[in-house]
Structure 1
Amino acid sequence: MRKTLRQFLLLAGLLTLYVQSFAQNPDKTITGTVRDTEGLSLPGASVQVKGTSLGTQTDANGKYALKVPATAKVLVFTFLGTNPKEVAIGTNTVINVTLTSANKTLDDVVVIGYGAIRRADVTTSISSINEKDIKNLPVSGVDQALQGKIAGITVSNNGGQPGGGVSVKVRGITSVNGTQPLYVVDGVPIMTSTNSIAQDQLGGKAGQSEQSVLSTLNPNDILSVDVLKDASAQAIYGSLGGNGVVLITTKKGRANEGKINYDVYFGAADVPNKLDIMNLRQYAQYYNSLIPEVAAASPGSQLPVIGELQNPDVLGEGTDWQSALFKNGYTQNHQLSFSGGAEKTNYFFSVNYFDQEGTIIGSGFDRLASRFALDHQVRPWLKAGITGNLSRSNQKIALTDGTETPTTIVLYNSPATPIKDANGNFITTSSLGANTFGQANSNPIATATLRDVRAIQNKAFGNIYAEIKFTDWLNLRNEANYDFQLGQNSAFQPNVVNQNTKQTILAPSRLREDRNNSHYWALRNYVNINKGFANKHWINFTLGHEAQASYYSGTWVSATDLNQNMPSINAGIVDPAATNSNVYEWAMESYFARGGYTYNDRYSISASYRRDGSSSFGPEKKWGSFAGVSAAWTVTNEEFAKNWKGIDYLKIRLGYGSVGNQNSPVQNAYSTNIRLFSIAPFGKGGVPANVGNPFLSWESVVTQNAGVDLTVLNKRLELSVDVYNKTTTDMILATTLPVFAGLDPNPPANAYKEIEPPVTNAGEMNNKGIDIGLTSYNIQRKDFSWKTNVVLSAYRNELVRLNSPNAILRGAEQDFTGSTSVVNITKAGHPVGTFYGYVTDGLFRDLSELNNGTNWGIAVGPTGLYLGDVRYKDISGPNGTPDGKIGSEDVTIIGDPNPDFTYGITNTLQYKNFDFSLFLQGVQGSQIFNWTRKYTESLSNAYLNQSTTVLNRYTSNNTTSDMPRFVNNWHSNNTRNSDRYIEDGSYLRIQNVSIGYNLPQKWANAFKATSARIYVSGQNLHTFTKYSGYDPEIGSFNKSVLTQNVDNGHYPTPRTFTIGANIQF
């Protein structure tokens, strides 16, 4: 009884204390006004109790009132375009806040590789963007989202294929072996391969098959992107940084900020425009007009009269092959993320599903990805964490960019041929009278529909770290990086025969299966020192060691004549010649250091050094050293500049550095590589794959950089300008030897599996350019703001030399007749990938021009070279001077795919709860070789469809036309590679328009959300260009810098409309 009484009295006492405490600390209401630095109120600003979902928004006058519990300690104030601010509540009931603009401040932190420093201490050329610049864009990879956003970066989509390859150049073309930069995600270099599969495994052409290296990374997980553009910044990455370094930082959780975010959008896409190809009515008019032309020129080879085409006016449109191939594509993206943390532990977890159907039959891309990040303060002196990115992507690849691909065949296939017969079965040809129309054994819609070519990637990468904090300014970080990837690629073609017509639609049945496994690991340990003292001196220092290695193995097998068209290797006959496997390994050890010093926020100097030892090179050249140094002077911090009017900030930067490239085919320093054959005349065996070169070394890239950072007009205008000179030496090139050497005479094509000649260091390349970035805060008012960002990049590329004075590198294409010719050429004294062909001199319009004594290479006459045919200039001969003969010596450089400059203009406006953005992106001065016109304007086969431009061709009644005459396969003079097909590739594109609305707080609260935004946007809305093809953004063929801007049935970039929402709980 006494025990029960004591418990009752204790409980009553505690209850009394609780009630008294509650009475002394009741809920209270805090009021106030939120303003900007100019004293203008900010409507719609968020006011939230830190660590809770309790919050409100300011009204139209910037005022707020928020009832908070007694346990509330801190209020967090946020507003779009400003820096967030935290204020302790204490005993205050009125809290007025001024938010500063989120302009780049000197205290911002910039990621520089193996660490971060204050922006005020940056001495190198680094450009950055944040999540707002890339969020909600309907793209599969962040590399596409960089286009037009960062000065010095040239980004081109290699086509509209979902998940397809993207060409990224940091300050021009660094090497003929490739330009792709090093991507580093949260300290993890993306080193594993992105293998895809080409359609030539099923017969015909390979087509565009590259996949974006970043397509497995969810763009919505990215917090910021920093690009190291000059060698003084890249030197810390040594031999991996020669093509530039892109540092990607992903999102993490913050203590006391528990959040749930759901981001979603849906989109619909189409092809913005189609080419003007003749419909059936126009084709009938065209065909009928050819009959008298051919008869006049060659009475013995008259075209037949086709009764069904005699009255064009009663005919319909016929088969629209383009409309049958192109379709509407659909996109959906869902992202759910959880982030937050407690006193010692922060967390972030996200899951993403992205699905994009292509605008061409048989193309698409989907990705399921998740990411997690966990950081824990184990002890006051020890912090540890782990990140992981898991993804599975499935890319379905369309056959494009080749003469025998559906994207080209639909342009010249006859409109008189239907896609299917009356029974709904595919057909290839049809007859009008005794005349056959269409392509035998080829129906482009059937090919696109029935083939199934896909690349599946399963990828996991991330890092584990432990950071020991010795003092506030000294810490040791230990990291382990991992990157695992499994690839599963397949290409399937059934055997299809129309049982009614007995036409072969696709044959033979074939299946190709690829399996590849790659993994990468790295162990990294480094010390960071970051300390200021005496209010004038600031030092930062990094010293570290790194070991890394990668492994790749691949196996592929093909089978034909599949039983019942079953997509299984066991169902067919295995092709021994198409069965193979390979294994590659690579390892590198490195030591690196970086030091920086700033005095009184005026003078800064930084130096980096790295020494790499790579297995790619022999014992004589295994180790290489790379270094950079840079300095900066902040002029406006000088005493003499204190009273400068109009100039708020001025910094001058200078930098010099050397980095490297390992763009060597695997293990070319050694002769121990063996190419094994599963079949041979005398049984199984093998031959050496190559002749090794133990003296093979790194490509070296040296850059000089000078830059200015300027802020004027009371911080309303920010300007950053950099000029640079970048020289690549010791480029890694295959040696071309005479045939009698017994080695491959045309490396690196290796068409017949000959022994490859040694690879050497021989070439030199130079890039000079300028980067300009401009930000203007045009209007910052009470309820309206307007900001403009402009970036401009220009470079001039020149190949100084190859491994011999007359050496050239070629890029070839094949036309619909089956002949292959060189279209791009890379030679000393010119830019990489210039166009190669004849120079035209109009058309022959007078017999005296034909009979002027020049040897045209073709007999003169109505069925030979005649009036209305293309005339070429006699430029050179065997002795280097005109020789009165048109031949191979007259082929010369006729164009340049490299642009004069690229640019992007972004306007961001906000009015109360509405936001609007307009992004314009453009290219000026690039040229395109429109290979498509070689068959849509061939004017050689009466049964092929043509562009409507041929309706205005040269005839005896139309002698002023610039379009050549019809030649009925008498010769191919008019379709030679020439400047006739070179077009201006300049364009200005409305790349993105977005309109959003932030829901009022009470609306968001109705579904338990702290904030919500809905938006609509349009991507690739319109392109202003003179180019006659689908799309002037061509890019490279499978990322090769040797074949750029050649339009041979390109996959057009789609136009996309999206609607979406960003919701936070």
Structure 2
Amino acid sequence: MIFMLFGISSSVYAQSTEQRIVTGVVADESGTTLPGAAVSVKGTKTAALTNAEGKYSIMVSSNASVLVFSYVGMTPREITVGSKDVVNADLVSSTSTLSDVVVIGYGTLRKSELTSSISSVSQKDLKNLPVAGIDQALQGKVAGVTIANNGGQPGGGVSVRIRGLTKVGDNNEPLYVIDGVPMGAKSTSLEQNFLGGGSGQTGQSVLATLNPADIETIDILKDASAQAIYGARGANGVVLINTKRGRANQGKISYDSYVGMAEIPKKLSVMNLRQNAEYMNSLVGEIRAVPGSGLDSIGEFRDPSLLGTGTDWQDEIYRRGFTQSHQLAFSGGSEKTQFYFSGGYLEQEGTLIKTGFERVTLRANVDHQATKWLKTGITTSLSRSDQQIGLSDGFDAVTSTVLYNSPATPVRDINGNFISQNVIGGSTFGNPNNPVALASLRDVTNQTSKVFGTVYADINIIDGLVLRSEGNFDFSLSSDKAFQPFVQNETTNAIILSPSRLREQRNNSLYWALKNYASYNKTFSKHNIGATLGHEAQRSKYDYINANRNDLVLNLPSLNAGDAGLTQGIGAGAGVWSMESVFARLNYTYDNRYAISGTVRRDGSSTFGDGQKWGTFPAVSASWTVSNESFLKDNKYLNYLKFRAGYGEVGGQDAGGANLYSANITLFGTAPFGAGGLPSNVANPFITWESIVTYNGGVDVTTWNKKLEFSLDVYKKVTTDMLLATQVEAFSGLGTAWNDIQTPRTNDGKMTNTGFDIGLTSYNIQKNDFSWKTNIVFSRYKNVLNSMNKPEATITGMFDEYGTKSLVTLSQQGRPFGAFYGYVTDGLFRSQEELNNGVDYGLSIAPGSLWLGDVRFKDLNGDNVVNDQDVTVIGNPNPDFTYGFTNTFSWKGIDLSVFLYGSQGGNIFNYSRRQTESLSSAYNNQLTTVLNRYSANNPDGDMPRYNQWHNNNSRISDRYIEDASYLRIQNVALGFSLPKSLINKVKVNNARFYLSVQNLYTFTNYSGYDPELGAMNNNVRFMNIDNGHYPVPRTFTLGTNIEF
């Protein structure tokens, strides 16, 4: 008995000594600490919360105690204590996102209550991407959104299409709303075209002034039932961006930084000097018999084996560009006041010499609970950006001349002076425009200072009813400058650049909006009601002034560097636009099973005249959550099933700031009879809103024990009453080649987009130390221009090539918009019989005109003549479908993500090949493909013969149409988070380092630099055209995320 009592007392003593305090840190899968996470001892009432640094302390009774860790949006985790005194826990995201809050415009809604098509992206999904604008980072992340870079210009724009094209006008970009402030699309400044940039010169991204690191969430409104709350401004879709805010009692300091290097992914195969000499020598024999050829053997070229590779202009013009980004943010606050302050710096050197982008940003977000019934706040963003622009997408642009300038021409002479052309054996080689001189000596810049933000006050009237009064503002000042000095070679006096030219433009714009709306949200038993009623007034005003001067006496970038007698020009303009709106929305959900939403907005716009100003845009949508029905509830195979259907209408008013109902006057002061003014357009007082109607049906499914989430949306978007320019006869004097007086706009025509979107998320593995997640998005749409104001009416896309306009795209009834238009080829003439039996080309059959090796074009109308009556649709710039495929892995402190993006189908018009495969000049360089041209010695060559007497072979035809399909390894990122046991000793909550590669490799059959082309200057008449495109770079980055 004594020994038994002794044993019992010893056991009790041992158990009591096992009772102790356990500490640790709770973090998410990326290593970010989780303040406010719950920690409890399983089977007891003992519990604790983590502090602002994610740390906790809790009493356990024995080694067998089990700690339960939980956090909102995370999967709970259980860990047995054992003998450890420190127990850290990493929680992974919960597969259930139904409780997530989605921003829907003028309010929020739980994801489970959505009835329309809305996609959400978090900042975590977009981190570590070396982009200036967040729009670039959205590519392949959202189903139904097609995104393409317009070029590799740092800070340059992208083409964003939500479910295809909405309008036939230039602007098809979505409306971006940042903390309630709408942002309009940007286009190219005229100053960029002044020195040789083409009509497709890449404009600046509308989001280039926003620091991506400040973004918390992004919600994309894809169908009209969701967009209708924004009325006419939401016609192209809406992207809602919310920036980060402070949290009470959760102070945090974070520093994010990366440095990197960018390079062009590949070079094009142009002839080197040795190949060029062989090419020239072969031409001598081929064309010497043709009178007037003027081509003969040149001494230095007679033995090409003695020559080197010559000048590689691509190596001279492209470089490795340095990039760096730094962001420091402070956030936190008390129960009454929360704050978020940040500062950011970004520098991107372009891969094209003398191009780059630099940005400084400051942000302040403050929320203050003044009283129990009043909450106020302000969000403010201040930025300054400087962009150096490389002239591209034009015939004399740097990116074009670099491909066809002769390798026989050095960049500089022995004295270091630029050389324009090289004379060898009495023959002049190369283009007068030295690409390196063009890029180095010209100066094209844009400087923008911008401040925008929101001031608000929320008044709690009664329980559930909140009145918000909100003011938005957006003010920007920008300066565009294009300068070209007069430069000549000091040794030879050869002209390098001439004349000296300068153009400057100053732009001011101010937008403001006042919103007052009431929101009511209340739950009564199984009934949940949400209602919004509001009024909005907004106004936008801009003005600009520009001046240009040629032959500057002092050869300096100053308008004062000349005298009054020199060529000069002054211009100015101003515009104002305003809108007043009322809107209402009602959401009703019953028992988390049935939901319906109705929205109506009425907009009045200054764009239209009396009697036409107001438009009403209704929408309705509904959903049925089948999985919450009794017959499916708690089904272990089908966790969630919801059907959605919606209808909505929005309006269009694409006016570019002009009044469409009245005549706008252009003033002049240089006419022989003095100053005056002319109408720039014919008025139409009856013009009114475009109508865009969307029908949407969708299904959301979660299955396989919540490991698989699937969504499908099918839609039809119909645009009617489009704002089209009336097509009239030429003798009317309207819409002439000089565009003196534009024809009136009318409401005519119809365009349809039909398609479907698929989103798939699979949580393949979710264990304590390892997780693997896969995300797939798929988007497909088909665009058809159903009708216009006349059956024979067309919308053309014309290129101005050295004063000659060439038809490149033509949009007509029954075809996709922006279709490529030209001749259809039928191989080459390879025999005399084919020549004799060929149709009439308007050329005689002779070596100097139509001959063996020339391109044979099809006579489509059968009249035995090939002329402009035989041109037809030869390509479609719209892809068949696009897709994104992301795999994310996490193992202990290591994370890896691999993102693939692809576009299948569609065509590219490789316009630059008309120069680089022209086979019409022996002294300009060509692609190496011309070495397999047709000749007497190579009758099976797949390229046309050399022909310098006419440009018949270079007609716009399907010869230049290529497949636009590609699959790209878009981003690979590998990260490592330092152990908490190490960094907590130095008061660091999280420290992560990563390596990232953007645009690693592209699988494609396209022969140019990059199959991702976007739209030239965001103009949908010029989609997927390569005319000296600035290639999108490959970027390597090394970065860190540190949190205190």
Q: Confirm or deny: 8 A CA contact 2:661 2:686 kept in the other structure.
A: no
Which runs of structure 2 are paired with 1:39-188 in the superposition (5 Å)?
46=33, 54=53, 82=74, 101-177=93-169, 178-188=171-181
Which stretch shows the higher mean deviation, 245-254 or 803-812?
803-812
Question: 1:385 & 1:888 partners in 2: Cα distance?
Answer: 63
- One-letter identity of the residue aligned with 1:179: N
Corresponding residue number in structure 1 for 2:1037: 1058
Deviation at 1:67, TM superposition (A): 10
CA contact (8 A) 1:1018 1:1056 kept: yes
SS in 2 for 1:505: strand
Inter-CA distance 1015–32: structure 2 relative to 1 (3 Å threshold): closer
Q: After the TM superposition, which of the residue ranges 563-572 and 204-213 deviates more from structure 2?
A: 204-213
> Which one of the candidate residues 801, 826, 829 is aligned to 1:844?
829
Out of 894, 898, 902, the residue aligned to residue 918 of structure 1 is 898
Distance 1:672 1:842 in 2: 51
Could you tell me which residue of structure 2 aligns to residue 828 of structure 1?
Answer: 813
2:1010 is equivalent to residue 1010 of structure 1: no
What do residues 567-593 of structure 1 show as CA deviations (whole Å, max 9, x unaligned)?
111112467763111110011110000
| 1:611 is the counterpart of 2:590 | no
Secondary structure (helix, strand or coil) at the match of 1:629 reads strand
Decide which of 549, 572, 582 is 2:562's aligned counterpart.
572
- In structure 2, C-alpha distance between the alignment counterparts of 1:698 and 1:971, rounded to whole Å: 49
Write the distance in 1 (CA, Å) between the matches of 2:538 and 2:68. 43
Residue identity opposite 1:563 in structure 2: V
Q: Which residue of 1 aligns with 2:4?
A: none
CA displacement 1:175-221 (0-9 Å, x = unmatched): 11121111101111114866634433236745514111110011110
Task: Using the TM superposition, give the Cα deviation of residue 142 of structure 1 relative to its aligned residue in structure 2, in angstroms.
Answer: 0.7
SS in 2 for 1:336: strand
1:557 maps to 2:547:
yes
Is residue 332–residue 354 contact of structure 1 (8 Å, CA) maintained in 2? yes
Verify: 1:872 aligned to 2:857, yes or no: yes
CA distance in 1, matches of 2:816, 2:458: 47
Alignment of 1:377-456 (within 5 A): 377-440=369-432, 442-456=433-447
Partner of 1:220: 213
Which residue of 768, 774, 786 corresponds with 1:800?
Answer: 786
Q: 1:777 is matched with which residue: 729, 740, 763? A: 763
More off after superposition, 888-897 vs 969-978: 969-978
1-structure distance, mates of 2:394, 2:185: 28
Does residue 725 (structure 1) correspond to residue 716 (structure 2)? The answer is yes
Give the CA deviation at 1:619.
0.5
1:55, CA displacement in angstroms?
5.0
Aligned to 2:970: 991
Secondary structure of the 1:570 match is: coil
Q: Distance in 1 between matches of 2:749 and 2:508?
A: 33
Instruction: State which of 458, 476, 479 in structure 1 corresponds to 2:449.
Output: 458
Deviations 1:704-729 (A, max 9, x none): 00000001100111001000000001
Among residues 322, 336, 355, which one is paired with 2:347 in the alignment? 355
Q: CA 1:304–1:153 in 2, change beyond 3 Å: closer, same or farther?
A: same
| Cα distance change, pair 205–155 in 1 and its aligned pair in 2 (3 A) | closer
Aligned with 1:538 (options 497, 505, 528) = 528
TM-score of the pair, normalised by structure 1: 0.91
Cα deviation, residue 956, structure 1: 1.5
2:879 counterpart of 1:899: yes
- Alignment partners' CA distance in 1, 2:31 and 2:429: 66
* Deviations, residues 630-683 of structure 1 (Å, cap 9, x unaligned): 000001111111364411100000000100111124343343532110211111
2:643 maps to 1:652:
yes
The residue type equivalent to 2:841 in the other structure is W
Report the Cα distance in structure 2 between the residues aligned to 1:269 and 1:813, rounded to whole angstroms. 31
Partner-residue secondary structure (3-state), 2:1020: strand
Partner of 1:809: 795
Distance in 2 between residues matched to 1:791 and 1:595, nearest whole Å: 31
Look up the match of 1:931.
Answer: 911
Which shifted more, 1053-1062 or 577-586?
Answer: 577-586
* 2:932 equivalent among 928, 943, 952: 952
Change (3 A) 1:224 1:33: closer
Q: Which structure 1 segments of 5+ residues have no match?
A: 1-26, 37-41, 57-63, 69-74, 88-92, 877-881
Q: Which amino acid aligns with 1:766?
A: T
Q: What is the distance in 2 between the residues matched to 1:34 and 1:317? A: 62
Mapped partners of 1:444, 1:743: distance in 2: 39
Equivalences for residues 636-647 of structure 1 within 5 A: 636-642=627-633, 644-647=635-638
* CA-to-aligned-CA distance 1:732-780 (integer Å, 9 cap, x gap): 111222233333335xxxx35x222221111211000100000001111
Pair 669,953 (structure 1): closer, same or farther in 2 beyond 3 Å = closer
Distance 1:182 1:679 in 2: 40
Residue 544 of structure 2 aligns with an amino acid whose one-letter code is: G
User: Quick one: which amino acid aligns to residue 126 of structure 2?
Assistant: I
2:26–2:54: 8 Å Cα contact kept in structure 1?
A: no
Deviates more, 1:570-579 or 1:726-735: 570-579
SS of the counterpart of 1:910? strand
Question: What per-residue deviation string (whole Å, max 9, x for no partner) do you get for residues 489-523 of structure 1?
Answer: 11111111112111111111111111111001111
SS in structure 2 of the partner of residue 249 of structure 1: strand
Q: Deviations over 1:23-56 (max 9, x none)?
A: xxxx9833589899xxxxx997847687956555
Give me the whole-angstrom Cα distance separating, in 1, the residues matched to 2:186 and 2:634: 56
Q: Deviations over 1:449-486 (max 9, x none)?
A: 01110111111100100001123311111101111011
Alignment of 1:477-516 (within 5 A): 477-516=468-507
Aligned residues: 1001
SS in 1 for 2:554: helix
Shift of 1:330: 1.0
Cα distance change of structure 1 residues 79 and 327 upon mapping to structure 2, 3 Å threshold: farther
| 333, 341, 344: which one aligns with 2:333 | 341
Distance 1:718 1:290 in 2: 63
* CA–CA distance in structure 2, aligned partners of residues 34 and 339 of structure 1: 20
SS class of match (2:193): helix
Q: CA deviation at 1:1010?
A: 1.2
Q: Give ranges in structure 2 of 5+ residues lacking alignment.
A: 1-18, 37-48, 61-66, 80-84
Shift of 1:853: 5.4
**Equivalent of residue 288 in structure 2, options 295, 306, 309:** 295
Q: How far apart in 2 are the matches of 1:174 and 1:916?
A: 38
Judge conservation of contact 1:668–1:759 (CA < 8 Å) in 2: no
Q: Who is 1:20 aligned against? A: none
Q: CA distance change for structure 1 residues 936 and 100 in 2, over 3 Å: closer, same or farther? A: closer
RMSD of aligned Cα (Å)? 2.5
Query: Is the counterpart of residue 518 in structure 1 residue 497 in structure 2?
Result: no
For 1:429, give the aligned amino acid: Q
Summarize the Cα distance change of 1:769–1:951 in structure 2 as closer, same or farther, 3 Å threshold: same
Alignment of 1:762-773 (within 5 A): 762-773=748-759
Name the amino acid aligned to 1:602. R
> CA separation in 2, counterparts of 1:46 and 1:580?
57
Is 2:889 aligned against 1:909?
yes
Q: Taking structure 2 as the reference length, what is the TM-score of the superposition?
A: 0.93
Q: Say which of 240, 246, 270 aligns to 1:277.
A: 270
Q: 1:23 is matched with which residue?
A: none
- Give 1:688 shift: 2.1
Provide the secondary structure at the position in 2 that maps to 1:845: coil
